[in-house]
Chain A
């Protein structure tokens, strides 16, 4: 088994096929979308493949160390940041092909007009634990 991150972007991914901002959807379309995501997670728990899912606020703060005895420096949020992560799902699956298959299904969540959003999700493999036998 290997773990993969299915990453959803606010910015930084190519535009979805059904590219209507969520605030232009009907409430029913939003509910259907949320339900799809919940059902998807529940189904993966049932298949023993679900690990975690989280969503993030659109805005964050950059922080860095600023020397001994000084408070950390903060900056941002930056409107020009190209890559902005919206949330993720972590799955634990048998093969890379299975990870792609599931990402494809997640991207089929319904959006405006009840049609799939077809948003681009980024699939990123986790680094695993080192194996014991290598030679």
Chain B
């Protein structure tokens, strides 16, 4: 049996090598696919000593065969063959090169995501199409356009790792739960990147993903409803992932080059550290939100900070922190509703929860917010009914 996980790990490096040697993206990918098929056939009887080297050799030969067969490409083929192959000591690792290429700033975020999953992740176009709920033909076009966009890009120095991190963050954070575990795939790709770069923010993002992924079993109830952090069954949290996330984060923080992903991961780590919701160290969480706001200036960070302030210093302080923020921000009404309820104003809270439900970006969130409004309105009705009946009791 051929280890398919190993093949998938080696694929981006092999593809990256072919692209660096001058193969165009689409042909290089075809050649790598052919080489993988050959590996599955040959390796069980004749395992190579150097699997990656074997794949590069076979894929490069497949590429040259295909280029020769295509007579219209004769000129390019000659040029490619004539070029000296870059030797060892390359400035950029081939796998890393492929990450940068797939996240190139000339691509739209969605194109970068699709290309990364296809070329670096080795997912099929069909799997990616299913993960984003679009027809396979549409996804195939999105990917081939992306390949064309970056086909002329040559890196003389490593790209900006921040562009790659944004793409991996999107893979982790968006998309639908289908057969493909996008969150798991994002973690695999970020882990691989972390090994290659030793960059603090790559570690920060990896830690952030691990810490959030650890809570996944507790995040939805059996009926698919969202379970908010404070109500989650913490015994369902994956302690192995939490331990790994904390280790990765601590190692990054010691290097004293803070970035937004490390700050976000630190907040997730403080949540993970609390045995119960009541034990959460909200004062420290507020401090990390202060860092996050300082680093990003993000209004979303300010909004989340208001929640943390509400927990650390009471709902009035939280509402005060909320006061300066634009009410048009996503989830502003939901945060306001939560703080007003904690402040003992269920009427305002119920109204705001209903308002938040109307502008919720997803169905589970809308259901959750509607349920909050319904809970408060039911309480208010029975309180009113109790009030009417009490004199006769």
| Nearest-neighbor residue (CB-CB) of B300 within chain A | A134
Asked if A133 and B141 sit within 8 Å, CB to CB, the answer is no
Asked if A92 and B366 sit within 8 Å, CB to CB, the answer is no
B267: CB under 8 A from chain A? Answer: yes
Asked if B212 and A132 sit within 8 Å, CB to CB, the answer is yes
Asked if B141 and A129 sit within 8 Å, CB to CB, the answer is no
| Nearest-neighbor residue (CB-CB) of B215 within chain A | A132
In the complex, what's the smallest C-beta–C-beta distance from B291 to chain A, in angstroms?
15
Give the residue of B110, B142, B365 whose beta carbon is less than 8 angstroms from that of A130.
Answer: B365
Chain A contacts for B366, CB-based, 8 A: 127
Give the residue of B134, B141, B174, B177 whose beta carbon is less than 8 angstroms from that of A51.
Answer: B134
B135: CB under 8 A from chain A? Answer: yes
Chain A binder among B64-72, B157-165, B244-252, B355-363: B355-363
Chain B residues 157 to 188 lying within 8 A of chain A, measured CB to CB, are 172-177, 183
C-alpha spacing A130/B212, complex, angstroms: 14
Chain B residues 348 to 393 lying within 8 A of chain A, measured CB to CB, are 360-366
Asked if A51 and B362 sit within 8 Å, CB to CB, the answer is no
Chain B residues 29 to 48 lying within 8 A of chain A, measured CB to CB, are none
Chain A residues within 8 Å of chain B by Cβ, number: 22
Would A127 and B361 be within 8 Å (CB), given that A94-B108, A135-B307 are in contact? yes
Asked if B111 and A48 sit within 8 Å, CB to CB, the answer is yes
Q: How large is the interface on B (under 10, 10 to 19, 20 to 34, 35 or more residues)?
A: 35 or more
Chain A contacts for B283, CB-based, 8 A: none
Chain A contacts for B208, CB-based, 8 A: 133
Would A132 and B362 be within 8 Å (CB), given that A45-B141, A92-B134 are in contact? no
Of B134, B141, B264, B304, most buried by chain A (CB within 10 Å of CB) is B134
A57: CB under 8 A from chain B? Answer: no
Asked if B109 and A129 sit within 8 Å, CB to CB, the answer is no
Chain B contacts for A131, CB-based, 8 A: 173-174, 362
B104: CB under 8 A from chain A? Answer: no
Chain A contacts for B141, CB-based, 8 A: 45-48
Chain A contacts for B142, CB-based, 8 A: 47-48
In the complex, what's the smallest C-beta–C-beta distance from A132 to chain B, in angstroms?
5
B97: CB under 8 A from chain A? Answer: no
Would A92 and B132 be within 8 Å (CB), given that A129-B174, A131-B174, A132-B212 are in contact? yes
Asked if B145 and A127 sit within 8 Å, CB to CB, the answer is no
A128: CB under 8 A from chain B? Answer: yes
Chain A contacts for B175, CB-based, 8 A: 129
In the complex, what's the smallest C-beta–C-beta distance from B335 to chain A, in angstroms?
11
B14: CB under 8 A from chain A? Answer: no
C-alpha spacing A128/B173, complex, angstroms: 12
Q: Mark A20-60, 1 if CB is under 8 A from B, else 0.
A: 00000000000000000000000011111111100000000
Give the residue of B177, B213, B267 whose beta carbon is less than 8 angstroms from that of A135.
Answer: B267
Chain A residues 66 to 119 lying within 8 A of chain B, measured CB to CB, are 92, 94
Chain A contacts for B137, CB-based, 8 A: 45, 50
C-alpha spacing A133/B260, complex, angstroms: 13
| Nearest-neighbor residue (CB-CB) of A125 within chain B | B361
Query: Can you list 24 A-B pairs with a CB-CB distance of less than 8 A?
Result: A1-B109, A45-B135, A45-B137, A47-B145, A48-B114, A48-B138, A48-B139, A48-B145, A49-B138, A50-B134, A50-B137, A92-B134, A94-B110, A127-B361, A127-B362, A127-B366, A128-B174, A130-B365, A131-B362, A132-B212, A133-B172, A133-B173, A133-B208, A135-B229
Closest 4 pairs (CB-CB, A-B):
A48-B142, A130-B362, A1-B110, A48-B141
Name 15 extra pairs, CB < 8 A, besides A129-B362, A130-B363, A135-B229.
A3-B133, A45-B137, A48-B145, A50-B135, A50-B138, A92-B132, A127-B361, A127-B362, A129-B176, A129-B177, A130-B362, A132-B172, A132-B212, A133-B264, A135-B307
Q: Which residues of A contact B (CB under 8 A)?
A: 1, 3, 44-52, 92, 94, 127-135
